[in-house]
Structure 1
Amino acid sequence: MSTAPDSPVGFTVRPLDPLTDAELVHGWVTHPKAVFWMMQDARLEDIEREYMAIAAHEHHDAFIGMRDGVPVFLMERYDPRYVELVGLYEPEPGDVGMHFLVAPTDTPVHGFTRAVITAVMTELFADEATRRVVVEPDVRNDAVHALNEYAGFEVIDKIDKPEKDAYLGVCTRERFEKSDAMAALRGVSR
């Protein structure tokens, strides 16, 4: 899984290596801005263990997103029939679950997080088998709700997960193609 280096969004994606990337990811997921990632108190060993389990899981993958060779985001892809949403909604053929986290920075770039979610969604829909992307963000995470709306997600339910109350959101390929994210990518203002 890798967006072409000359892709319109300018990102590449590579598999996360649980051992060599653990220290990097640890700094991201324990940063105060990653509070909704729910790993604030995680130790380095916890991160290694978590991502080793994901790497070994048949239905869950983790990736590092790069821009100009620099790691800038974390992305997880999962099959909601087996991970995260089991028993919480009726999955449809072609559903793919997604999490993403932008690396913290002292020098934010306007529009960067929007570019990341566009890259993540482009990557997921590059697989022709993907019909819908499914997310389950914390109901209190207003920033990600705005990003999801930008990418074409619609909230279809509120669900009670063991660790949080979440909004179940879905984005079809068609909704993504008509989203503000794709309009921006095409240079069309709305």
Structure 2
Amino acid sequence: MPPTDASANAGAAPVTDTGTTSPTARESRIGPAADAGADSEDTLDLHLPDEFVALFAEDTGTDGKRSLGATATAGQASASAASAATVEGTGTGTDKTTATCASETPPASTAPNPDDLLGDVADWGPVSTPAGALHLVPVRIERDLPIISRWMNEPAVSAFWGLAGPENAIEEHLRSQLLGDGRSVPCMGLLEGTPMSYWEIYRADLDPLARHYPARPHDTGVHLLIGGMSDRGRGLGGTLLRAVADLVLDKRPACARVVAEPDIRNTPSVAAFLTAGFRFSAEIDLPAKRAALMIRDRSLRHLM
């Protein structure tokens, strides 16, 4: 997931997010970590052991829901044989896989999903905002690619995201997340049921971004693009960012901070984060930009 940012436009300025052209380009341009003086925590080592990565091997459907990978599936098959479990098929949308067992094991839907690094964003549900109910729905390529592609090709958006081009290039950007290990989930933002924004919710502590600031375990990052022209320039960025940041903290108890890294030159974006209760932590040099590291702390969420 590219280092991108959100903005709530001031005046006619668009609410956009910045980013590199592709996940591959991002990975290849990682440089030295930023000065640790920005925080007291050490930066995490992002190189996961091969055996750990194998545990998160997965098949992802176009609806954004993930099924367990080969390793986990094999383990479940053995356990099912031992306990005479009957497992129903997984559907699309918000359908869940359920299980009934001869033993007293609770249904699978009541237990955390170990194959999900973000706590199953698809099940977070809508959140109330002063602008209406916002629902983050994981991207489905066949449904959402045309509108995301149209947004990405608008000049005001492409200047920061860097994803302008044919649909197949944008599709690659989306699939790299949907078919990845679950550390990033691309979502459509529905405000009162209407698609109007694109989001990326990601594990900042497992992202290349963590090499540029003192990351802490379970730091969660957000990227936002407000796509519709009619939704820009009326202060929605700050409103929606606050709601989503609080949603992350509510749904991810292990996460103590929500982070973002808007381009330091994108003053509407920085202003949106400040409005949303983020604090400015430091300026950091990323491969594609100089960024403002913005942080929303769980401990300060009711004060800012």
Settle same-fold status: TM greater than 0.5. Answer: yes
Q: Specify the alignment match of 1:177 in structure 2.
A: 302
Paired residue type of 1:64: M
Contact 1:65 1:73 in 2 (8 A): yes
Give 3-state SS (helix, strand or coil) of 2:209's partner.
coil
Q: Specify the alignment match of 1:7 in structure 2.
A: 128
Paired residue type of 1:150: T
Unaligned runs of 5+ in 1: 180-190
Runs of 4+ in structure 1 over 6 Å off: none
| Aligned equivalent of 2:160, options 23, 29, 36 | 36
Contact 1:134 1:171 in 2 (8 A): yes
| Aligned equivalent of 2:212, options 66, 74, 88 | 88
**1:163-189 deviation digits (Å, cap 9, x = unpaired):** 11111121102333222xxxxxxxxxx
Unaligned runs of 5+ in 2: 1-120
Q: Specify the alignment match of 1:185 in structure 2.
A: none
Q: Specify the alignment match of 2:283 in structure 1.
A: 158
Paired residue type of 1:90: P
Q: Specify the alignment match of 1:69 in structure 2.
A: 193
**1:16-70 deviation digits (Å, cap 9, x = unpaired):** 123421111111122223222222x322111100000011222111111102221
Contact 2:196 2:231 in 1 (8 A): no
- How far is the alpha carbon of 1:161 from its aligned partner? 1.1
| Aligned equivalent of 1:132, options 257, 263, 269 | 257
Give 3-state SS (helix, strand or coil) of 2:128's partner.
coil
What percentage of aligned pairs have identical amino acids?
Answer: 25
Q: Is 2:230 the partner of 1:122? A: no
Give 3-state SS (helix, strand or coil) of 2:255's partner.
coil
Count of aligned pairs between the two proteins? 178
**1:78-99 deviation digits (Å, cap 9, x = unpaired):** 1123224131112112311111
- How far is the alpha carbon of 1:76 from its aligned partner? 0.6
Cα separation, 1, equivalents of 2:168 and 2:295: 33
TM-score between the two structures when normalised by the length of structure 2: 0.54
**1:91-131 deviation digits (Å, cap 9, x = unpaired):** 11231111111113246573333322123213212222221
Paired residue type of 2:297: T
Q: Specify the alignment match of 2:47 in structure 1.
A: none
| Aligned equivalent of 1:24, options 122, 147, 166 | 147
Q: Which has the higher contact order (CA 8 A, sep 6+)?
A: 2
TM-score between the two structures when normalised by the length of structure 1: 0.83
Paired residue type of 2:146: E
Paired residue type of 2:298: R
Cα separation, 1, equivalents of 2:303 and 2:176: 36
RMSD over aligned Cα atoms: 2.1
- How far is the alpha carbon of 1:144 from its aligned partner? 0.7
Cα separation, 2, equivalents of 1:166 and 1:150: 18
Cα separation, 1, equivalents of 2:204 and 2:127: 31
Q: Specify the alignment match of 2:237 in structure 1.
A: 113
